[in-house]
């Protein structure tokens, strides 16, 4: 049986907001080279759209960090599934995430990456669920949308590997 999906944010709303955030990032990084770290798999759609709109030099690397599995709630156990290909020493790092809720994964990841000597680390997310934040020290520098505590899919976000390709953000209704 197919899941019913309610549209939370339309494709137009998402695209417009990504352009706004890209302009802000481009201003903040003027005269600098940005090393974007895309958090796989969900972050790839957002990262590509964001990178296309930046006006500063960009390099890109990928990392896969897992704390979910096939469930809708974080397991709380963070593991690096795919590490970076390039060193971070002296780079202006921008971590790009699809969604931040508890903050456990990002808290762990940021501490790991800080040990690799970047010039600085900033965090950009498509979606933020601050009411679910457990790790309050996770500071999000760029947020496209703050959303309620609902399980969302689309634009890279999945439910058991389904719905990543939706061009909008939707809520799976049970």
Do 144 and 161 meet the contact criterion of CB atoms below 8 Å apart?
no
Do 114 and 108 meet the contact criterion of CB atoms below 8 Å apart?
no
Tally of helices (H runs) and strands (E runs) in the chain: 3, 9
Catalytic residue among 101, 120, 128, 158: 101
Do 90 and 121 meet the contact criterion of CB atoms below 8 Å apart?
no
Peptide bond into 41 cis (omega under 30): yes
Question: Does the active-site annotation cover 71?
Answer: no
Cite the active site residues: 101
């Amino acid at each position: 049986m197919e899941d019913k999906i309610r549209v939370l944010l339309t494709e137009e709303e998402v695209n417009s907001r990504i352009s706004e955030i890209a302009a802000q990032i481009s201003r903040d990084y003027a005269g600098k080279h940005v090393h974007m770290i895309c958090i796989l798999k969900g972050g790839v759609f957002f990262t590509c759209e964001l990178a296309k709109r930046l006006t500063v030099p960009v390099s890109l690397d990928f990392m896969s960090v897992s704390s979910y599995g096939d469930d809708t709630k974080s397991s709380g156990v963070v593991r690096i599934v795919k590490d970076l290909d390039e060193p971070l020493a002296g780079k202006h790092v921008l971590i790009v995430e699809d969604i931040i809720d508890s903050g456990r994964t990002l808290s762990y990841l940021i501490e790991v990456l800080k040990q690799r000597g970047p010039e600085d680390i900033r965090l950009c997310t498509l979606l933020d669920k601050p009411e679910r934040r457990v790790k309050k020290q996770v500071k999000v520098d760029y947020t496209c949308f703050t959303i309620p505590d609902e399980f969302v899919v689309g634009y890279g976000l999945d439910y058991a590997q389904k719905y990543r390709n939706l061009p909008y953000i939707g809520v799976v209704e049970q």
